[in-house]
Structure formats: structure tokens, C-alpha cells
Amino acid sequence: MIWFFTVFLSALLASICSQTSIPNNEGANESEVPFEDILESFQEILSLRSTLEKKIRRPNAIDIDDFSSNRNFDLDLETQRLEQEVTIFEHIAAATNMYDLSEEKRNELIEKLNEVPKFREIVRKCKKALPSPQCDSSSLYRTLDGSCNNLKHPRWGSLFSCHERLLPANYKGVSEIVDAANGEPLPHPRTLSLHFSDDIKLPTVNISQMFPFFGQLLAHDVVRTPPSTSGGRTLDCCLLDELQHPQCISLTYSSDDPYYSQFNFTCQNIIRHIPCPTCSFEKRKLINQATAFIDCSFLYGINEWEANRLREFDGTGKLRTQRGNLMPQISPTSRDLNCISGYEKYCFQSGDSRGNQHLMLASLQNLFLREHNRIATEMKVLNPHWDGETIYQETRKLVGAIMQCIVYKEFLPLLLGPTRMSEFDLWLNNSQYDPTVQPEMLSEFNTASYRLHSTLNTVVYENETSSSIIKLRDTYAIQKPIHENSFGSFLKGASKLPGHKYGRHHVEDVTKYLYKRPINDFGRDIQTINIYRGRDHGVQPYIKLLAYCSNNEINVTTFENLNQVMEPENVELLKQNYKDVADIDLIVGLQMEYNNGISVVPPTAACINAIQFKFLKDGDRFFFTHTGLPTSYSKEKIEAIYNASLSKLICDNTKVTEMQMNALLTPSEENPVMPCSSFPEIDLCLWKSEPEHHE
């Protein structure tokens, strides 16, 4: 019953506040509030709760988001510390019913708090937890943690920056998940998943299975939103309601669930994501445990500790490898939930904590590792006077530029379509850095518009001839095939196999078997998780984003209004499952929209995604097409980088001898298979420099 006492103590602050005179909308009682007593009581609560939590950590509880490998404990400890800072502000806001007040009264309340010395100390401590970094404006290279990209706002886009939003947060109070329009709970995500996400396979005409795999690699490069913890250990959210941690989301399955009931599986451990410390009473934002820039942080890491364990320090500027010219092996004692016990010798260290999540993701990360080492080798030959640090930094900068080129030249035109590419000026050409653009990740993007699981096929090809297949469900946490077979075969196979059309239909590999282990009979349901995450992040419902992206030309007030953007069948499904059109979850609505086939995702999702990638291009001082800066590449180098392609990477770093022009599209007359020798190269001679001579 320890959790009962913890929850009771957390409620004590609310009890104290209820006995004081908080200003209300009617302005009934304006007497002074004893904030000193409130804050002192609250700090006692935090201290006691911390002590109690240490006694009840649950080492066997696993959160769906906590499939993390190669844990960076310095990073985890820093994240836990920041989580404590934001907790204070959220509890004060909740206890004082701050968001039930009018804006005027809320501002009055905050002004009174700011007069209290103890509160000012809390604010000072919070701001000190995230100090503004000292920047070297002359540096030609990115920092590992993304800081100092914007010299006036050094923390924009960096590690531990906050997710932003296109529309205001949709929470009850400061951070509670909202109810439906009629005041009842929103429909259960599992019910919605069962009704919408049937296993109907709709192969695309030309998008390859490589598209969603590369899309996931890109996602891992720019965003990671960690779950809350109890002193660094995973919370157990399948306890009785009265014993649950406030950061838990109750996700229970009914005893007659058509799938999980046969396994007596009645609860999935879902933990709310860690809020971001804004040191203010803003509604909850979420923290990003990655850099928001396309910088290949999945390869290089996001702090010095990660980077150093992945590097060779032998003057070559290379990254470490193990047998087979693959990423280094994880420690046998590593707590890696993506690595099956007993198979640690097959699992990889990488710059991202999700590197061993599945076979194809690990294959792509190994591909970029080899590209770094291939380029570093050539840089050393061209510039024997360079030291290892210069080779490493120049190669890291170029590999990041290659990743950006593939994203904006090959991936985004398919995701968004040519109209959105032109509308948001996303085509690759000489560009200018805009220091007024804040390059943060959008919650609408992270939780809805960029969720591409519906485009996955059920299998991956094990070799180039497509004569052998592996079920997608059997690739989770399995890296042994990479050691037994060239991962180039898996990459080429994925580029030949059609993906599926974006929409509400999902294959069972992600709705029944997600993260399934060989010893288990079942896995998780991604659509249930996705719907819950949108609510956890406080994103506005679908109709609000539909209006936003149509410049308010499409304003939906009834289900019938949706017929202008959806098939009648989908409108009817929504009507059967939601009581009010204003309740439709963003991700659900996006997946129901008409898609004209010009882009992978339909119009509203394309709008959100285009805005996100506009931010990531214009707000990145180191984006490779930006000119006129000390960090800029020359015109000749930029044009050389335009030759980069995913197919060329596969050709250069595997045993594959031929590829189609664009690996994200299946082979066709418009996308012919060519010998690897036919692909244009990046002329690395442009990076040759003369040694400096000192008199």
C-alpha cells in the first residue's frame, strides 16, 4: 500500500490550497494566500515521495517506449533531474486550479507567487538546471548535443529542448488528459484500433518497403521522448488504480478482447512521457531526448560520453567496428531490452538507444557506419596532414549532409508530393539560414502525422533474389541474420518489396506482434499506443488541424461535413465510434482522409509534415545548402553532395552490385535498376586541402 500513501501525500498540497483563498472567476475572496506554507509542504511531499519510490521500483516492469539499448546513464540521470524540476510547477498549477481561472485571475495568482521568496528560489533552481551554453561562434562543426546551432538562442533544437505545437495544448488543466465533448471519457484506444485497423493488405504501386524503414531511421535522428520513471526505474502501471503513479496511463484490455483474452493479457504498461521544464506555468510540453536536427545523431550519439565510446582514437577519424565490419558489440552485461537474452554477441552499440529495435533499423545504421569509415579513409589519403579529430569532424559533417540530401531529394518528395514541396520551398537549392525559425519537433508531427506504421509490409526479403523471406514480426530484436548474411541483401530486398498504402489498415505484425519476443506468443498493438500518445501529448483533435491546414476553409461541425475529405465508409465508422465529431483523435482522422496518390500521406498530414521539415531546414545553421556563412560549404561541394542517394550508399558499402535509381521506390521503367558503377559519386577531391606552412 506504499503507493496509496504516496498519492495521499501528493494530494495534501491540493488539500492545503483548498483551505486557502485562491482568487476565482467570480472574484469572491481576494484574501492573501499562505504560499510559503504551501510550498514548504509541497517540498516535504516531494522529499518523502522520493524516499518511498526508492522502495517500490519495479525492475521487471517494461514500458512500451522503454525498449532502449546501450543506456547512457549520464543522460538518464540528467533526464530524471529535469523531470523533478517540472513536477513542482505542474503540481502547484493543479493544486491551485490555475487553469480553471480566467486569464486575468491566473496572472494575478502568478504575480502573487512571484512575490514569495521560496517560489523565486524554485524558479531560480529550475533555470539553473538548464543553463545557457557558452558558444564558440567560430566553430565549423555542430555540437553533439545540438546546442549553439542558433547563437542567439543556444538551446533551440538541442538535447532536452521542448516539443512545440502548431495549436495550443489540449489538456484538462495543466496536463490531464481531456474528456470527450460530453464530459465522458474518450473512446478506449484499443476499441478504436479494433474497429479501424483491420489487417487488409493494400500494396502500393511504387513505394518500397524501404520507405517506412528509412522513415523510422530519420525519426530516431530527430526525436526521442522518454517515459517518466521512478528514480530511473520503469514504473509499473498495471497496479490497482489507487496505487498507480500519477504518470501512469491506465491501459487495460477487456476479458473478452478478441485477441489478448486468449493469453490472459489484461494490462499494457503505458507510462506518460516526461514533461519539459519550462520553469513556468505553461501547459505541459514534452522533452526531446535527441537533437532536433538531421545530423545522424543515431550514428554519432548526442553527448561526449556516447561519441567517445563509438570512436577510434588512432588518428584515422573512424568509428569503431567489430568482426564483419559491423557496429561494435554491446556489453554482455548491458540492460538492453532490444537484445534477446543469450544473444548479446549479436547486438550492436550505436548512437541511438533504439538501435537494436529490429533487423532493418540495425542494417541501416550499419550502412551509415560504413559510409563514415569509407569517407574517413579517403579523407586521410587526400589530407595526410589532418589529425584524427579533423578527419572525424569533416567526415561527420559530410555524412550528415548526405543524410539531409537523401531526406530532401528522395524521401520528402514521396512523403509530401511536389505541391507541398514547392509550397514550403523544400526542394534542394541554395538556401539561407533563418535565425528566427525555432527548429523544434512538433507534437502533432511526433504523435500523428509522421506515424507511418500503416505503410509496412508483413515480410522482409532475406536475399536479393526474393527467394527467402522473414516475417516482419520475427525481426524484432533479432540481429543474428546480419552476422550470417550481408545486410546489403536485406537492404536491397526492402527496396524491391512494395510497401503498403498509408491509411487506417495495419498489418498484424504491428497490431498483434509489435516487439514480440521468440519466447512470447503475442506482442503489442501500435495503433492503441499511437492514439494514447496523442492524448498524452495534448494534441488538438483532428478537426482543429484540418481547419488549420486548410486555412479555415474546411470547418467541420458535424460528421456529415467530413464527407468532403473522407470516404463515406470512413465517415460512418467514425460516427459509430465517436459521439462527437470534435472528439476524433488526430491520428485517426489523418488516416481516414482521402489520398489522391500524389503523396504517401493525405493533405492534412502532408501539411503538418511539411511545416516540420521546413523548420528543420530553415532553422538549422549547418544545413548543407545554406550559403553565406562561415560554416557553409562552397558551391562546388554543395553540387557534389547532390549526387548522394540511398542506392549509392548501399552500392558503396555492401556487396550489392546493382540498384534502382531510388531505393525508396520499387524498380520500374521510370526507376530502372542500374549497375553500381553508373551512379554519380561525390567528388571527395573537393575536400583536399593544402597543409598550412608557418614561417
For the chain, the structural domain boundaries read 134-176+200-220+291-535+601-688, 229-270
The SS3 of residue 207 is strand
Tens of pLDDT along 68-79?
A: 434 454 666 677
Residue 336 has pLDDT above 70, yes or no: no
Q: Residue 53 — pLDDT band, cuts 50, 70, 90?
A: very low
What distances in angstroms separate CA 547 from CA 164, 280, 541, 556, 619, one per listed residue? Answer: 19, 30, 11, 8, 26
β-strands 498-500, 469-471 pairing: unpaired
With beta carbons less than 8 A apart as the criterion, state whether 235 and 229 touch.
Answer: yes
Q: How many residues does the chain have?
A: 695
Among the listed ranges 90-94, 189-193, 349-353, which one has the minimum average pLDDT value? 90-94
Q: Residue 467 — pLDDT band, cuts 50, 70, 90?
A: low
Question: Average pLDDT, stretch 218-243?
Answer: 83
Tens of pLDDT along 100-129?
A: 888 899 888 888 888 888 888 888 888 888
Q: Residue 23 — pLDDT band, cuts 50, 70, 90?
A: very low
Q: Which of 355, 274, 302 is nearest to 157 (CA)?
A: 302
The pLDDT assigned to 343 comes to: 67
Using CA atoms, how far apart are residues 430 and 638, in angstroms rounded to an integer?
8
pLDDT higher at 57 or 472: 472
Residue 474 has pLDDT above 80, yes or no: yes
What is the chain's alpha carbon radius of gyration, rounded to the nearest angstrom? 26
The pLDDT assigned to 157 comes to: 98
The pLDDT assigned to 338 comes to: 74
Q: Residue 464 — pLDDT band, cuts 50, 70, 90?
A: low
With beta carbons less than 8 A apart as the criterion, state whether 588 and 542 touch.
Answer: yes
171 phi and psi, to 5 degrees? Answer: -125, 160
Residue 445 has pLDDT above 60, yes or no: yes
Question: Average pLDDT, stretch 182-187?
Answer: 97
Neighbours of 261 (CB within 10 A): 13
Among the listed ranges 77-81, 257-261, 660-664, which one has the minimum average pLDDT value? 77-81
Could you confirm whether domain 134-176+200-220+291-535+601-688 is CATH 3.90.1150.10?
no
Q: Which of 586, 581, 504 is nearest to 538 (CA)?
A: 586
Does 453 belong to an annotated binding site? Answer: yes
